[in-house]
Chain A
Amino acid sequence: AQKVTQAQTEISVVEKEDVTLDCVYETRDTTYYLFWYKQPPSGELVFLIRRNSFDEQNEISGRYSWNFQKSTSSFNFTITASQVVDSAVYFCALKPPAGANNLFFGTGTRLTVIP
């Protein structure tokens, strides 16, 4: 069975602070992909990143970085120098190799950046 856990339901930070959103997953598959999506207040879901289970290199994109650790089944997302525009709900998701070609989502973390 596939399961994604985002234990942080809500996080509030003051602008310019760094923040890390946790994601822990469970799967019996040896190959899989992990994804992060952003849902801003307008409601749409925006794809941010995907990561292959064989690639444990950290990835950085501007103020965003992702830390994938297979040993702890975690795929954490860090925003450096947070901005008000980062306020959103962030979803971590898992895609296994077989089945419906769909994503298994966590319950999301609502990030509020206070100006």
Chain B
Amino acid sequence: DAGITQSPRYKITETGRQVTLMCHQTWSHSYMFWYRQDLGHGLRLIYYSAAADITDKGEVPDGYVVSRSKTENFPLTLESATRSQTSVYFCASSEFQGMNSPLHFGNGTRLTVT
């Protein structure tokens, strides 16, 4: 089925380890986003990408790295995981740039850093 898929769905890692969250979309949407969801904060933008090989920081980028070598993939890497990065991570895509273009979200990855 077409859509946006995230993997893994759940991940437990230790402090200091590197971990990569995967995001794949089949719509060929130009824009892709990574958000984190935390109680009391709603969803906050970590990084976004306007097209392949174009990425930029969002509101809370520290400790994260992204890449977008192909339009359909937008992995998020935590270089050295910290407990404060325990969160639910959502990947999203948007077909075009425009105020009326909604974001379509994946099912999320629940990450726990011990």
Q: How many Å lie between the Cα of A43 and that of B90 in the bound state?
A: 10
Q: How many Å lie between the Cα of A97 and that of B100 in the bound state?
A: 9
Interface residues of A (CB under 8 A from B): 4, 6, 31-33, 35, 37, 42-45, 47, 50, 52, 91, 95-97, 100-103, 105-108
Confirm or deny: B102 has a beta carbon within 8 angstroms of a beta carbon on chain A: yes
Residue of B nearest to A43 (CB): B108
Confirm or deny: B107 has a beta carbon within 8 angstroms of a beta carbon on chain A: yes
* A–B Cβ pairs within 8 angstroms, 30 of them: A4-B42, A6-B42, A31-B99, A32-B99, A33-B99, A33-B100, A35-B102, A42-B107, A43-B88, A43-B107, A43-B110, A44-B108, A45-B90, A47-B104, A50-B100, A50-B102, A52-B100, A100-B45, A100-B56, A101-B48, A101-B94, A101-B97, A101-B98, A102-B45, A102-B58, A102-B103, A103-B103, A105-B43, A107-B42, A108-B42
Main secondary structure of the interface of A (DSSP, over half): loop
| B105 partner residues in chain A, CB cutoff 8 A | 37, 44-45
Main secondary structure of the interface of B (DSSP, over half): strand
Residue of B nearest to A46 (CB): B105
Interface residues of B (CB under 8 A from A): 31, 33, 35, 40-45, 48, 50, 56, 58, 88, 90, 92, 94, 97-108, 110
| B40 partner residues in chain A, CB cutoff 8 A | 107
Closest Cβ of chain A to B13, distance in Å, is 19
| A96 partner residues in chain B, CB cutoff 8 A | 99
| B45 partner residues in chain A, CB cutoff 8 A | 100, 102
A-B interface, 8 closest residue pairs, ranked by CB to CB distance from nearest? A45-B105, A105-B42, A33-B99, A107-B42, A105-B43, A47-B102, A44-B107, A101-B97
